[in-house]
Structure 1
C-alpha cells in the first residue's frame, strides 16, 4: 500500500502467506533498530496484527526487545491488518498516512506511537522517511517530527494540544518540495515543561523559543503554520523575528479576545494558574465532548480518532507540568491587550510578513467576527471565512487545508 497524499491508501503489495511474512517482519524490524535515534527512550509498544495476536516491542537502554504476547500497561498499542503492517515495515506507507486512512488504530500515547517508526532505520526504497528530532533551546528540549525535503515549514499546535494535532498537514505537505516540522511547544507533548517563572509561557517567550528551534536546526527562514494559540505564536514570531519568517498561516488563530477585556486586570494581579498543580480528575466523557466541540461536524472524524485523542489528553493531564503550562498560557492569552498603545491589534498592523488567515464560521473558541478585525488591521492579508468549519480545519477539512496552504506556499515562493 502507499499513501496518495490525502490520507487514502491503495494496495500495492501482495504476499502468499501474510501471517508468516508478519512473523519474519518482526525479526527484520529488530535488526533495523536505530539505537542513536532511540537515545534514552524507555517505552513499550504492543503491535496487534489481526490473525496473529499481539507482539511486544520494548525499547530501553538504547536496545530493542521483540517478544510474542501482550505486555502489561504498554505505552502505546497499534492494531492493524497483515497487509498494512507489511507495507508499514516495508516502507511502502508510513504510519501517519495509515492512521489517517483508518487502517491503523492507536491506543495510548499518540506522540510515542507517532515516533515508533522513527526508531528504526528506513526500509530500502521507503516512500517517505519520518524523523524525530530533539532540539535544545536554552536548556529546554523541544521534540518535533520532520517529514519531507525542501523549503522549511513549521507547524505550531494550539493550547493543550501537541504536534499530533497537525498529522494531516504533516502528511499532506511533507514531500519532495517542503521539509515539514511538527513541533511540540514548550510545556506540551514530549517537550520540556519548565515551571512558569518570569516571562515563560507568554506568547513572546514562546515565539522566541520557536525562533531558537530554527536557529539550532540551521533554518534561516521558514513558513509558519499555526492553529489557535499556535497561530498567535506564529504571528508573534513574524513580529519579533521577521527575517526568519517567510510567511504566516493562521488556522483559527488566537487573537486579542474582546470578551476577556473585563477580567484581564484580575488575571494580571492574580496567579490562578498555580491551582493547576492540584491533581485533576477529568472524566473521559467530558474530554471527548470537548474534542467534538472543536468541530462543526464531528462526524467528519472517525470515532476511533476521538477515542485516541481523548486517551492522549487524559495521559497529558496526569503531568503537573502540562497542567501548569496549559493554565499559564490560557492566562496570558486572556491578558492580551486589545486596545491602546502596544496592544495586539496595533502591533498586528505593523506586521510586514505575508499572512494568510482561515476562520471557521462555527468556531466556538475564536469567533468569526475576528476575520473582519484582521482585514481592518492587515489590508494586504489573505483572509478566508469557511462556512462549514469549526476550530481545527486541519482535521475537519484536511484535503482543503493542504490544497490551500500548498497554493499559498507556492505563491509566496514564486514571489521571493
Structure 2
C-alpha cells in the first residue's frame, strides 16, 4: 500500500491511501474497512487490484490515522464524508466496496449518492440481518470504556494481543479471526478510538441486534450491479445473511467462500480478487437516471418498465 496521505475536510484530518492506476484511466474502487479496523485490512489484495484499478482506501473517522472527533458516526454521516473526500480528490464515480460495517456505509453511500456509484460490492456486510456477535454488542454497553482501558493497560495489552494472535494460529477455524481482533484490541489504547467505536455501535445496534437494514431499500439495487461475498465460517455476522441477500436482491451476484471467516479478503486474497474482477468484468457501470430512480421509489421496486422504456430513461 502506498504512503499515507492526509486531507482536512470540515476541519477534520482524514488519512487515506491512493494508488493503482492514475485517476481517469481505470475504474475507481473505494475501499471501506470495518468497525475497529483501518485501511490496512485491504493490504492482502492491494497489489493485485492496483494492476487494474484506481484504489482509494480511507481510514474512516474515528479509526486508523484519521481524526477521532466527537461527531456523527452513523452510516449516513460516513457516506457524506466519503462523498466529500471524493469531491476534494477530484473523483466523480466509484465502485464502492465495503467490509462489515464498511458494507453498511457502502450501502448507504449507494443509496444517498446513486449518481456517483457505478457498482456496489459488499464483504460480510452489516445491515442484512439482526444477528451480530456478543463481542460487538458489548462495545455499546455502559462501562465499555472502563473495561477497554483495563484490557489495554500497559503490559496487560501486550499480553492480551499476543495471546489472541497465538490462538488465531493454532488451526481452529472458529478462532481464525482472532488475529484481526488482536489488532483492533491494540488500537483501543486510544481513547478517541474507544469513543468513536462506542458511538458507532450504539447507533446501529440495540438490544435486539442490528437496527440498520437495507431490506426495505434493496429493490433499488435493480438499478445498480451488486456483488456480495461471505465467509462461510463468519462468527461476527453469520453467513446465512447471504441467503437474505439472495431473497431481497435477486439480481445480485452472491458468493459464500468456504474455509473463510469474517475477513475472506484476508483468508483467500487470490480467490477474492478473482471473484471481484469477474464481477467488474461481467457488469456494466450503473448510469444514474432520475426518472428511473423516481419510478423505483414510487413503485417500491415493482418496476414494470419495458426494456425499450428503460433504455430511453437511462439514455
Q: Shorter-normalised TM-score: what interval?
A: 0.7 to 0.9
CA contact under 8 A between 1:157 and 1:163: conserved in structure 2?
A: yes
Aligned partner of 2:76 in structure 1 is: 204
Change (3 A) 1:338 1:188: closer
Match of 1:370 among 234, 241, 264: 241
- For 1:201 and 1:135, how far apart are their aligned partners in 2? 19
Determine helix, strand or coil for the equivalent of 1:258.
Answer: coil
Change (3 A) 1:290 1:190: farther
The answer as to 2:158 corresponding to 1:288 is no
The answer as to 2:222 corresponding to 1:347 is no
Match of 1:402 among 257, 268, 273: 273
Match of 2:39 among 141, 152, 163: 163
Aligned partner of 1:180 in structure 2 is: 55
Change (3 A) 1:390 1:338: closer
More off after superposition, 164-173 vs 274-283: 274-283
- For 1:408 and 1:219, how far apart are their aligned partners in 2? 21
Aligned partner of 1:147 in structure 2 is: 19
Displacement, 1:400?
0.6
Match of 1:319 among 183, 190, 201: 190
CA contact under 8 A between 1:277 and 1:324: conserved in structure 2?
A: no
Determine helix, strand or coil for the equivalent of 1:233.
Answer: helix
Match of 1:412 among 283, 294, 299: 283
- For 1:336 and 1:249, how far apart are their aligned partners in 2? 28
- For 1:415 and 1:343, how far apart are their aligned partners in 2? 22
- For 2:272 and 2:129, how far apart are their aligned partners in 1? 25
Q: Which runs of 5+ in 2 are unaligned?
A: 133-138, 288-315
CA contact under 8 A between 2:38 and 2:60: conserved in structure 1?
A: yes
- Measured on the aligned residues, the alpha-carbon RMSD in Å equals 3.4
CA contact under 8 A between 2:97 and 2:122: conserved in structure 1?
A: yes
Higher helix share: 2
CA contact under 8 A between 2:79 and 2:106: conserved in structure 1?
A: yes
Change (3 A) 1:368 1:314: closer
Determine helix, strand or coil for the equivalent of 1:350.
Answer: helix
- For 1:382 and 1:336, how far apart are their aligned partners in 2? 32
| Structure possessing the higher relative contact order (Cα contacts under 8 Å, 6 or more residues apart) | 2
The answer as to 2:257 corresponding to 1:382 is no
Displacement, 1:353?
2.3
Aligned partner of 1:247 in structure 2 is: 119
TM-score normalised to structure 2 length:
0.74
Q: How many residues align?
A: 270
Change (3 A) 1:188 1:225: same
- For 1:185 and 1:339, how far apart are their aligned partners in 2? 20
- For 2:200 and 2:167, how far apart are their aligned partners in 1? 18
Aligned partner of 1:393 in structure 2 is: 264
Displacement, 1:209?
1.0
CA contact under 8 A between 1:338 and 1:344: conserved in structure 2?
A: no
CA contact under 8 A between 1:338 and 1:345: conserved in structure 2?
A: no
- For 1:248 and 1:292, how far apart are their aligned partners in 2? 33
Superposed CA deviations along residues 113-160 of structure 1, whole A, max 9, x for unmatched, are: xxxxxxxxxxxxxxxxx3532122222221111221122111111111
Q: How does 1:50-69 map to 2 (within 5 A)?
A: none
CA contact under 8 A between 2:130 and 2:208: conserved in structure 1?
A: no
Higher strand share: 1
Superposed CA deviations along residues 341-383 of structure 1, whole A, max 9, x for unmatched, are: x953102333332210011211111111111111111111111
Larger Rg: 1
